[in-house]
Structure 1
Amino acid sequence: MSHPPDQSTRPAIIGLTGSIGMGKSTVAAMFAELGVPIFDADAVVRHLQGPGGALLPMIEDAFPGTTGPDGVDRGALGEMVFGKPDELARLEAIVHPAVANRRLGFLDSHADAPLILFDIPLLFEKGGADGVDHIVVVSAPASQQRERVLARPGMTEQKFADIMKLQLPDADKRARAHHVIDTGTTLEETRRQVKALIARLGGSRDQSRP
């Protein structure tokens, strides 16, 4: 079993978050390109729920008919849990402990890194802010966010509105952040911000909270 690393020797942890369409994935990729190890919670969930995924038996037992050879049928599972807090809680009780265990393993594997990044879309909404040292919020003007999201295949005004209801407003996220990365500019400028932030945070452990 993995154990949490010693607080005095572990890497400083960046918690990267941002609302839909703000460019979080792009920024996370920039951190990775600059050598910062990335733990992508969503990618871990996709792996655990994909073909042959470790969570498929438990999910099928709790939500019959939602899995198959290709893994979880996201549409079928979504119908069972969307708008149903109790059912969503049942699913999260299966998924969250497995992701947490993978995260501990990731920490063990990168114990010598000065800085690591947790890519957590719902960092504030799910109460994960206390588990990181530096909260970094990715943000862009609302008009750009809207344009990016509505350009996605299958996205509608209603889906966008429903997603936004589940997320803390961007202004609130920025107010609670230690650092904000602006993606409402060029990729080159955004990359410059990321590089400067890595230089500023590398090896430090700012334990203050907003």
Structure 2
Amino acid sequence: MLLVGLTGSIGMGKSKSAELFEAEGLPVYDADASVHALYEKGGAAVAPLSEHFPEAIKDGAVDRTILGKLVLNDGEMLQKLESIVHPLAGKMQKDFLETQEAAGKKAVILDIPLLLEKKAEGLVDVVVVVSTSPEVQKQRVLDRPGMTEEKFHSILSKQMPDSEKREKADFVVDSTISVADAHRQIRDIISRLDDIPARALAVRKALTT
């Protein structure tokens, strides 16, 4: 089973691209959605986070806005957060891969925002980077509710520059023109996946045995 890592900086159109891959029949694991599930009432991350970030727990769930403010520009707090959440999210991803492999899927999409920042490209067979111009990126992000210039630049400072991501990509989806144009690019990428050897899943299994 081929593991396709889908990534891209904030505002690049990665989430829409994931939807387009899914529309073409490729199962998608959404790393952000998995974390959302961990933060919901009854989620596996609520209890351990309540020990270190009690003010972020509201009505039995993690308030992401409060949590975000607590770790914003605080590397030590962010590291603590990641040490709790990443193992839990990793298990969810492992379960997803096992389910899709058992179902006989030939390829899956792993939608992982910080794939390259975490130097995890060796755990996928293909890296797809979604990109657009800096002007379009900034406008998209600042149009989001609650977003500010300060928050935008803080997020960017933690992400690899788009030019470097493009260099590390096997394929680039340019989301600038339109959704239809991005969809055309994605169909072209899918048509070329059969020529790529699937090795990453075996690497992952070797690392966990």
TM-score (norm 2): 0.89
Which stretch of structure 1 is more off in the superposition, 41-50 or 57-66? 57-66
Q: Which residue of 2 aligns with 1:40?
A: 30
1:24 equivalent to 2:19? Answer no
How far does residue 205 in structure 1 lie from its aligned partner after superposition?
2.0
Which stretch of structure 1 is more off in the superposition, 65-74 or 190-199? 65-74
How far does residue 176 in structure 1 lie from its aligned partner after superposition?
0.7
Question: What are the ranges of 5 or more consecutive residues in structure 2 without an aligned counterpart?
Answer: 201-209
In structure 2, distance between residues paired with 1:84 and 1:155: 19
Which stretch of structure 1 is more off in the superposition, 161-170 or 194-203? 194-203
In structure 1, distance between residues paired with 2:70 and 2:178: 41
Q: Which residue of 2 aligns with 1:3?
A: none
Given that 2:73 and 2:154 are in contact with CA atoms closer than 8 Å, whether structure 1 keeps it comes out as: no
What does 1:83-98 correspond to in 2, within 5 Å?
Answer: 83-98=73-88
Rate the CA distance shift 1:207–1:26 in 2: closer, same or farther, 3 A.
same
Given that 1:174 and 1:180 are in contact with CA atoms closer than 8 Å, whether structure 2 keeps it comes out as: yes
Matched length: 198
In structure 2, distance between residues paired with 1:70 and 1:183: 38
Q: What do the CA deviations read for 1:85-106 (whole angstroms, capped 9, x no partner)?
A: 2221111111001111111111
Given that 1:134 and 1:206 are in contact with CA atoms closer than 8 Å, whether structure 2 keeps it comes out as: no
Given that 1:115 and 1:202 are in contact with CA atoms closer than 8 Å, whether structure 2 keeps it comes out as: no
Q: Which residue of 2 aligns with 1:56?
A: 46
Between structures 1 and 2, the one with greater helix share: 2
Q: Which residue of 1 aligns with 2:55?
A: 65
In structure 2, distance between residues paired with 1:147 and 1:76: 25
In structure 2, distance between residues paired with 1:103 and 1:57: 20
In structure 1, distance between residues paired with 2:71 and 2:14: 26
Q: Which residue of 1 aligns with 2:189?
A: 197
What does 1:98-137 correspond to in 2, within 5 Å?
Answer: 98-111=88-101, 112-137=104-129
Question: What are the ranges of 5 or more consecutive residues in structure 1 without an aligned counterpart?
Answer: 1-10
In structure 2, distance between residues paired with 1:182 and 1:71: 37
In structure 1, distance between residues paired with 2:2 and 2:187: 16
Q: Secondary structure at the match of 1:65?
A: helix
Q: Secondary structure at the match of 1:171?
A: helix
Given that 1:15 and 1:123 are in contact with CA atoms closer than 8 Å, whether structure 2 keeps it comes out as: yes
How far does residue 70 in structure 1 lie from its aligned partner after superposition?
5.5
Percent of pairs identical after alignment? 40
Given that 1:22 and 1:140 are in contact with CA atoms closer than 8 Å, whether structure 2 keeps it comes out as: yes
Given that 1:30 and 1:194 are in contact with CA atoms closer than 8 Å, whether structure 2 keeps it comes out as: yes
In structure 2, distance between residues paired with 1:159 and 1:87: 17
